[in-house]
Each structure stands twice: as C-alpha cells, then as structure tokens.
A and B are shown apart, each in its own frame.
Chain A
Amino acid sequence: MDLSEAYREKVRDPRTWSGIGLDPFYGPKERDQHYDRALSDPGEYPFTRGIHRDMYRGKLWTRREVCGLSTPADTNRWLHFQIAEGVSGLDVIVDVPAILCVDADHPLAAADVGVNGVHSCSLRDMQTLMEGIPIEQVSMSLIASSLTAGTFLAQYIALAEGRGLDPSLLRGSIQNDPVHMRFCGAGPAVPLDLAVKMGADVIEYCVRNLPSWNPTTVNLYDLREQGLSAAQEVAFGFSTAFLYVEELRQRGLSIDDFAPRLAFYCSAHIDFFEEIAKLRAARRLWARTMRERYGAQDPRSWRFRFAVHTAGSSLFPQQPLNNVMRVAYEALAAVLGGVQSLHCCSYDEPIALPSRQAQTLAIRTQQILAYETGVAGVADPLGGSYYVEWLTDRLEEEAVSILRKIEEMGGMAEAVRNGWVDREIEQAALEEQKRIESGERLVVGVNAFQSEELEASTPGGLLRISAEAVQAYIDSVARLRRERDKAAVQRAIQHLRAEAGRGPHHNLMPAVIQATKALATHGEILGTIRQVYGYGYDPLGVLESQF
C-alpha cells in the first residue's frame, strides 16, 4: 500500500467480531430538543459526537509517530523505517535549537542539536530530510511551533517547488503556535507580538495558497504537559487560538476564510473517561464559539479537528513496560473521542529517545486499535452514556468558566503579560507532584508496587546519537554559509528587512520563502525580522547579524 492509499484507508468491514452488522452510529429512537441542542448526530452541529457522520468508515485516523533525531540524514532513514512499518502519515519535529530560532552552528547549540528533534535550518537540510519521500502522496505533519514554523514550512514549500510540484497540492499541517512556546522554555525566542504576527502570517499565507494544508495545530498538548487540568487544557488552548483569530480578523479576513483550516493538538492523558469527555466537550465548545461568538456561517468553520499526542508526562521510567499499557489506554481514549490524527508515545520516552523496538510497538498499538479491536466501526460509541455525557457537560462548564476569567482579565495576551498563566501552570505542576508524593494519586511502579531497584538497562536497548555524525552535520551548516551565493542571500535578506518594516499586518511569508530559496538559514531570516521589531538578532544574545 502506498502512502496516499494508507492515508485514505477506512474501516473495511464494519461488523463485530462475531459478524453482527453495525450502523455508522447509534442514537435515541426519537430525537428531542435536548439531544439536538447538546449532542446531535455525528457530523451535525454542535459536533459533540464527532465531525463526520461516518467517522472512521470514511477515513481512519492518520497513524503517525513523531520523528526527529540526530542529523537530517538519520531522521530521513527513520522516516523510511516508519513507512515500512505501516504508518499512514509522517510527523517530523525540530530540535531545541530550532525551536529557539538559532542555527545548528550557534556557539551555544552543539549539545542540543539532534537530541530532541531534528535540526533543519536551511533548504539543504529539508532536502536531505525528505530524500526519497513522495511528499505529493504523504500527509506531512511538521512540528516547529515557534517562529521557525514559518521557516520550516517555507523550506517544505521550496522543496516542493524544487521538485516541480505544485505547493497547493501539499497535504498536512504545520504546528505553528508560537505563542504557547513561551510556556515551554522558549520565551526569548517568541516575544508575544512577533509570536502572534508570525503565527497569523503562516495561517493567512496557507489559506490563500495551500488549500489542503492545515496552517496551525494550536498546541493544547504542551500546556497540558505542564500539569494543567483537562478543562484548563481546553480553555488555555482556545484562548491562545483566539489571539490568532483576532489578529486575522484585524487583517480583514472573515472568520470563514480561515476557520475551516484551523486545527488543534490535544493530549490524551491517563484518566480514560475524562479525556474522552474533554475531547467531546472541546468539539461542542469550539463549534458554539465559532458560530455564536465569531458568527461563522460555513459549517466547516464549526468543526473542531484535532490530533492527539498521548501524554508523555503520564509515563515513567520506573518499570518502563508499564508505559505500553498506559499508551494503549490513552490511544483508545483518543479514538473513542473521535481523533483525526494520532501519535502514540514510545514506552521508553521518559528514559531516552525511542528505540526502534519501542517505536515499532507504538505503531503496532495504533494498528491493533484500527484493525483488530473494532472500536473504529461506530462513531462516538460512548455517546448517551450517563456518565460520559455528565462529564462532558461538566468539563465544558469548567472550561467556559476559565475562559470567562481570561476574558475578564483582558484576554490571553493580558493573562500572559501579567504572569497569570505562568502562575496557574506552576501551581498545577506543584499540586500534581504533591499528589504523587503523598500517595493521594497512585502511580503503579512509581509510588506503589515499586520494584526493588531501577532496571539496569532500557528494555528495547538504548538509542545513542552519534556525536561525530552530529558534529559533521553542524560543520555542513557552517560550510553552507561559506559556499552559497552570498550576494543572493544578501539581496533576499535586504528584501525581507524592507518587507518586515511594512507593519505587523503585512505578510512576510513570501519574503521568507524567497530567502529560504536563496539558502538563508532560519537563524538569519528570523533574526532579521526580530531586529526590525526591536529585538536582538540572536534570541540567546550571542550572535550579531552578518547582513
């Protein structure tokens, strides 16, 4: 099966294991007002029960695994390995220096290059990364949430054009939620004004030029990973999304111009029913917000489309194989919650980078769910459960009350500026740790049923990044700087600088793409934009612009 067939794959035989025929979904014999208002059938407003009537009978969720390690060439080999193991989409994440908008040869970056994602600071890197990958067939998720969302996407677009492909046919997503990165240790790289501006630039550019591309997956997941509750995850994530929505409206776009393409990146944590209820509540709340608050008319604008990343913070290094079970339950919750695209953590995530064995098992976890368990045959199978409906209502109410609080504070920008969001996150993380310390929350193998001592080795073997390979890659970036057409880079950067001076509503993506094609690096491109906005060229305060 090639990648585009895998992507479109649907539930083949919607019968139970014993052969009982099944409808696409089940509901009350007679619909009443409450059902219509609170739930409706799958595919109908407010989409509590799912955004499609036929759900996974129309198309299974996309099975991906986040990938990014060592050099672009090594990550490329890893992507081919994933394809061979039967994923139906790809998912590439950049490393920490890239998130901080500095290049691999930055003097402070060496120890962090390729250890927690892959570096891709120029078009050359993207070409290496995607070698032999038929990008016209694949649904590609690019995870670069900071300002590098713009440059990472620009590299992908330039790659497509270089291959003679029409970029408007590209399918996939760029995470592009720079605002949230300030809560993930990337503060200096994502000043709020630029984070909103560049986030909106990418969204605007994509809705005009890449119709099949999802121009953001607003990242609720990273917020949740900080220790927030399920309702906070939804409320903080939505409030962040509103920043981009407002910015785009100020640029004169109507809500229906871009809302159909907005997407989200959610957590599936360990409390099974709470996660399902959260996803259902988020769907209903987003639909109502888009329709009632923003006046969206296009039904596609009402649909909350989301990917799920199972919760890394729910996994522990103690008795690591226990994580296999945790991930499976979380993935099941995501599917029962109606997910569009899923990443399952590898069980060794709290220990090291995933080994091949661990990542294969994560892929198999998704495949067993999709092909064996039968859970994909019927949309929203838990709809109508007294408990799930009650919990859905409850989480929605809680999220609404937090949203109201943020509104009263003056919106997310103000809640960020006055430190409220930071305080909420720190408080939540502390309380969570205290619950584990006190034994109020039991974690198997961690504060209950512990082993005598920690396992002496990682079960699937430990994946080591070759320091030599990474150093050779870093040298190649320095070499690129020497060998490229300097005058062309100079011209492209000058043009970008002039464009950046035309105000926050002027879209910089065309100039960013042009500079990318001239082989400017993301550090140079984003540094230039930073300067125009009054920030230092280098977010880490070491380098000066060469232009």
Chain B
Amino acid sequence: MAASVPIRVLVTKIGLDGHDRGAKVLATMLRDAGMEVVYLGVFQTPEHIVEAAIQEDVDVVGVSCLSGEHLALVPRVAALMKAHDLRDVVLVVGGVIPAEDIALLKEAGVHEVFPAGSRVAGVVEFIRRSVTPR
C-alpha cells in the first residue's frame, strides 16, 4: 500500500523575486515523476509557505531563490517548520546559491541545496530517499 501513496511536494518562490522559470519546470517534472505537486508561485512569505505546507500535508517543501534573498528568508521557513513540528517534512532549496551558503542553510535546517544546473533527476532521487513512506 505504502508505495501507492504519492509523495506530496510543495514548490514555491519566496520573497519578491520573480525568477520562476526553474520552479515551474521543477514542478512539472516532479509531477512527471509521479509526485503530487502544489505550486504556490511567486511572492510567498515564510509564514504563508509553512501554513500551506501544513494545510496541504506535504512531505517536501521546495523553495526557489535566485536573487540572493535565501539567507534572509529560508532560515525563517526552517524555524517555522520546527515550531509547527513538521519534523518529517523535507526542506530543499534551489536556485542561485553560492557554495559558501550551502553549509549555512543546512545549519539552519535545510536538508539539501540544489544550485542552478542541478539535474531534476537528482532532486527526484533525493526526495525519494529522504521521504519516509506513509
């Protein structure tokens, strides 16, 4: 039975950055890989993202950042997820992220970072490995 329950992923932009090409492509390709995707789109706050993660009962939250706002906003997402006891939900970040910041994001509670150029196949593999089957 467990294998038949699709993994649910929330894909979102954060802050005011409008570079949404990657987020949209990822959302479509995760669907093609058999996952259920909730695409929130642009202009999302950390509060709204976590609220949506709870309401949509997702296994994964994927945040896309391309304008350098990741350190200001993503740790807040991680903290709110913790505060709401979303311990089983996997938090991943993609976009324009310098190598120097990957460790900082992971310290803040991000499980994995996929910089531009990452293959979606790698994202799919990571999600499948990290999500506890229901």
Report the bound CA distance from A108 to B72 in whole Å: 12
B133 at the interface (CB under 8 A from A): no
Number of residues on chain B facing chain A (CB within 8 A): 33
Enumerate chain B residues within 8 angstroms of A318, measured Cβ to Cβ.
115, 117
A351 engages B68 (CB within 8 Å)? no
Considering the complex, give the chain A residue whose CB is closest to the CB of B115: A317
When the two chains form the complex, which single residue of B24, B67, B99 contacts A458, counting CB atoms closer than 8 Å? Answer: B99
What does the 1/0 interface line of A346-387 toward B look like (CB < 8 Å)? 000011110000000000000000000000000000000000
Report the bound CA distance from A316 to B24 in whole Å: 19
Report the bound CA distance from A462 to B97 in whole Å: 11
What does the 1/0 interface line of A424-442 toward B look like (CB < 8 Å)? 0010011001101100000
Report the bound CA distance from A532 to B127 in whole Å: 48
How would you classify the secondary structure of chain A's contact residues: helix, strand, loop or mixed? Answer: loop
Q: Tally of A-B residue pairs with Cβ under 8 A?
A: 108
Given contacts A316-B117, A457-B99, A462-B98, contact A226 B21 (CB under 8 A): yes
Q: List residues of A (101-159) whose CB comes within 8 Å of B's CBs.
A: 108-112, 115-116
Report the bound CA distance from A470 to B119 in whole Å: 34
When the two chains form the complex, which single residue of A109, A185, A188, A465 contacts B19, counting CB atoms closer than 8 Å? Answer: A185
B15 engages A112 (CB within 8 Å)? yes
A184 at the interface (CB under 8 A from B): yes
Given contacts A185-B13, A316-B117, A437-B119, contact A540 B43 (CB under 8 A): yes
Enumerate chain B residues within 8 angstroms of A112, measured Cβ to Cβ.
15-17, 67, 69
B117 engages A351 (CB within 8 Å)? no
Report the bound CA distance from A464 to B98 in whole Å: 11
A430 engages B99 (CB within 8 Å)? no
A-B contact sample (16 more), CB < 8 A, given A108-B16, A352-B98: A100-B16, A100-B18, A108-B43, A185-B17, A187-B42, A317-B96, A317-B116, A318-B115, A350-B96, A350-B117, A351-B115, A353-B68, A433-B25, A454-B99, A457-B100, A462-B100
A-B contact pairs, 16 of them (CB 8 A): A96-B16, A96-B67, A108-B16, A111-B73, A112-B67, A185-B20, A185-B42, A226-B21, A227-B21, A317-B116, A351-B115, A426-B24, A430-B28, A433-B120, A436-B119, A437-B119
